[in-house]
Amino acid sequence: MSSETDDQPPKSFPTARESRLLFSSPLFEKGWVWLAGAGPGDPSLLTLQLYDALGKADFIVYDFLVSEAILALVPSSVERLYAGKRGGKPSPSQRDITETLITSARAGRRVLRLKGGDPFLFARGGEEALALANAGIPFRVLPGISAAPAALAYAGIPLTHRDYNSSITFLTGHDLTGALPRKIRWNMLAGSAEVLVFYMVMKHIATIVRKLLAAGRDPQEPVAFIRNATLPDQTIAVGVLKDAVDTAKRFSPPVVFVVGSVVGLHEQLAWWSPPSEFPRSRGKS
């Protein structure tokens, strides 16, 4: 008995460009701003909607965390503006970035605001959306895969597992001023959240670890640092909370910091290895 594969070549899926015909892609109109999440870095994790938008935009404003592999998909005719923010280094102000979006849209351009991860999760997309709304600029939000879910998935660490946790808390390591967020109630956090996932943690890692331990978190609780998730230079280090400050010395941003027993599954579930060929990681150094 012969199978279909004996007589015919295997069927292939449409390319990403061809797939535009298979889903309803919204019209990118002149004078609009699209706030888009570019995901954690690997271009194969882009949404189809964003992939389509990369070829329709007139002007792209992008952040530091947008990888070069993604920027390489943008047609050479599209104007691009780097608007990345990095702690301790000269960076454009949020006011200037927002004003650029508004001015460009009023000039009748199709503006794509490209952010790493998801635009509404620790990416200031909400602030930009409010500014656009107040200025009367029409906008659309394109969700993206945020760094934390991607980092844990590529590290073989489930965000949730019924045998380990029924809750998870996402936090940022610094507020608008660069200081440790003042509204975090560390005693409540340490006692109620089974898994903690921190973005932008490196500046205040020593204080964060000290506060978690002082609030009663187990010094032997597993932790993980994940840098450049999904990219060929992805780096993972696991350890315990009491030693986390020393472990952190091996890393520079961008890093996701995870605290919780699910980290213990990393050794069994680690599945990812870097591809042999992959464009360089970050858009700017």
Residues assigned a catalytic role: 63, 85, 200
Give the integer Cα–Cα distance in Å for 148 and 255. 9
The tokens describing 106, both together, are: 């009023």
Cα–Cα distance for residue pair 234/99, rounded to 1 Å: 34
Single-letter code of the amino acid located at 272: W
Closest C-alpha to 146, from 114, 117, 169, 113: 117
11, with CB counted inside 10 A (0-12, 13-18, 19+), is exposed
Listing DSSP states for 228-269 in one string gives STTSTT-EEEEEEGGGHHHHHTT--SSEEEEESGGGGGHHHH
Distance between alpha carbon 212 and the CA centroid of its chain, in Å? 25
